Structure 1
């Protein structure tokens, strides 16, 4: 995917700001709702029982949204967008059987935790599935930096990749969704084997230097839950967006946990879809779900996904893909 282009946003020096922008003339919540609709339709098309996605009795819903420090971060808005689209698609799928599909309001839990919200979403999903509160959990993220509030804040903090600043990110927008179900250890498909969370005292603005301790702790916790050694990992995929702070933070952590082990293949998605905030982790999961199933494309059958927030939150997730047969 590549939607990088000059935008209608400008720097104080009147340089156009490059963004990763999806093609549509809508704005505001209508624009976000369009991306939510696209990913839900795509998600349902790959399911053997698409009607279950719209059944509130069978499917719990978790929405990943921007954190409170971001512009336009009202969790009620994001929950409302997803609820409205789900109800519309449910009625469209089979308007005559709305009650059988489950016309109850969906149980929507909005996590306004930016990138690392994926870790909490996976842990919450595991509790729901383990307690048989739901047959499956839909985790959906939607986020956009393409608004004046986020653009101006990033410009003020000198965090955008613009002329005169190579240490910055390209703002983007995205939505992504995955459906999680309980599975046996040897079932084919992509498995979440471990989740670790921690906090890093270092700050991206340089006020407190980072030593990668938070991410180190998160990775070790995820590996412990997955019952494996970090040296067994074949690759890592991250939300690194072009800012040096996060690259160095991750490099320090990886050096600690894989000391003496093999060099991990490194993957990112920011060069494909830009900085997409709360959606980054889900987009990586969706990408790996496809690539890890194809031997010619797979970076390996066991890997690490890691995420970092501006506020110091860190998250690490261990993934294993079991092939068919």
Structure 2
């Protein structure tokens, strides 16, 4: 049986919010659990069907009316503000002390502007817009920007944990925003043959979304007698030498390394129950790598017995937001009682070879799922 005391090196997850193609956190997790998907034709973006020689619409997962008519910075601001509103609604007055923000954005933000602008300048402008629109968020002590795709989001979590543990801030807000369905980004993905099309079935469907996490130290949560909804362990990271553009396919060593390290931090290597959130999106190289990883991991742990979840089936490819969507789904699974065991492992595989394993432990509020459901857990 898992210990009811979170292990050293973890931080507390106080609240979370999201804006996705399936709605906010609670609605999105419930819909994903039910197998709901809102993939639809992207009428402004087409590709050539090599069989019929006709132009056909690409298919993706948009946030619907929330982002309709918005492009570029405006689209990301819409997503980010909606995620922050969702977080604020669930925080129930949990804001306190000094707050630092860690903002995760996609690379190449200025490429779609005319004339092209420096990516960091665009990121700073976006951050200012978010602060202006989300006035309900307390004043920030500091803000850090990350533009390294999935790896940047993991890096942001690492830096947030360091700031909390060094007591440079009392709470840390990690916000990731990304949209792969805007026309300028779709064109590049289509040229690279990343997208799922009639003549290329081993691609992904693009998506968009934003996720906000509010983190604090474990001791602070305990002193204020406000049990966190989950505990996050420090991410385990490694570099895969055979990334997507390499001629040789990845053999799973780096992903198996972070998987084993993440589990060992929580003494969860031999646990027969848990949930595994996989970074699979339809691309062949990811599926091959996971197959190799699983073969290697079976010799050291029991993750092949864990419940496997593939968020991209419900939300499409979310880029920098992908790791945090998995955090939301895992935490909601704890809350509603369908998450197996007391741990969830999130695997992250970036295009640049960055690999990470992020382990969550069920929070004390959700130790007894049946009691939580009877008490009306949201």
Note if contact 2:71-2:182 (Cα within 8 Å) is conserved in structure 1: no
> RMSD in angstroms over aligned alpha carbons?
2.6
Note if contact 1:203-1:209 (Cα within 8 Å) is conserved in structure 2: yes
TM-score (norm 2): 0.75
Structure 2 runs not aligned, ≥5 long: 1-21, 23-36, 50-54, 113-117, 368-378
| CA deviations over 1:117-155 (Å, ceiling 9, x no partner) | 232122211111111111110000001112333222222
Separation in structure 2 between the aligned mates of residue 230 and residue 270 of structure 1, nearest angstrom: 28
> Is 1:298 equivalent to 2:342 in the alignment?
no
Note if contact 2:164-2:170 (Cα within 8 Å) is conserved in structure 1: yes
TM-score (norm 1): 0.86
Match of 1:138 among 155, 161, 173: 173
| CA deviations over 1:35-68 (Å, ceiling 9, x no partner) | 111111111111132665xxxx621000112245
> Is 1:217 equivalent to 2:257 in the alignment?
yes
Task: Find the counterpart in structure 1 of residue 7 from structure 2.
Answer: none
Aligned length: 310
> Is 1:86 equivalent to 2:126 in the alignment?
no
Match of 1:12 among 48, 68, 71: 48
Task: Find the counterpart in structure 1 of residue 204 from structure 2.
Answer: 169
| CA deviations over 1:73-101 (Å, ceiling 9, x no partner) | 924423432333223332xx49xxxxxx5
Bigger drift between 138-147 and 114-123 goes to 114-123
Match of 1:126 among 123, 146, 161: 161
SS at 1:315's partner residue? strand
* Structure 1 position 32, deviation (Å): 1.2
Question: Which runs of structure 1 show a deviation greater than 4 angstroms over 4 or more consecutive aligned residues?
Answer: 68-73, 184-188, 230-233
* Structure 1 position 33, deviation (Å): 0.8
Task: Evaluate the alpha carbon distance shift between residue 290 and residue 273 of structure 1 in structure 2; reply closer, same or farther with a 3 A threshold.
Answer: same
Task: Find the counterpart in structure 2 of residue 289 from structure 1.
Answer: 331
Separation in structure 2 between the aligned mates of residue 64 and residue 191 of structure 1, nearest angstrom: 21
